[in-house]
Amino acid sequence: MPIYAYACADCGAQKDVMQKMSDEPLTTCPECGKGNFAKQLTAAGFQLKGDGYYATDFKNGGSSKPACPPCAASGSCPVAG
């Protein structure tokens, strides 16, 4: 379920609310009770998971090229000579 950020235009109260996408938006402020409680525009938060996605650009400690399997196994590179 997505989390929506709401703010009241009258009292300035802010609240994050977990709602279904099909739920009606909230309009009554839980703090002051007035009807100026509206959704705010926020950046979407998401996380990529699975093979090929890393928290940094380089998985192997900053190496710009991935090690090829023959080089890693033998300690020398048959391609580079």
Is the overall model pTM greater than 0.85, yes or no? Answer: no
In the chain, the N- to C-terminal Cα span, in Å, equals: 55
Is the pLDDT at 79 greater than 70? The verdict is: no
CB contact set of 59 (below 8 Å; sequence gap of 6+): 66
* Average pLDDT value for the chain: 78
Per-residue pLDDT tens for 11-45? 999 999 999 989 999 999 999 999 999 999 888 77
The domains of the chain are located at 3-39
Q: Which residue has the higher pLDDT, 78 or 4?
A: 4
Q: What percent of the chain has pLDDT over 70?
A: 63
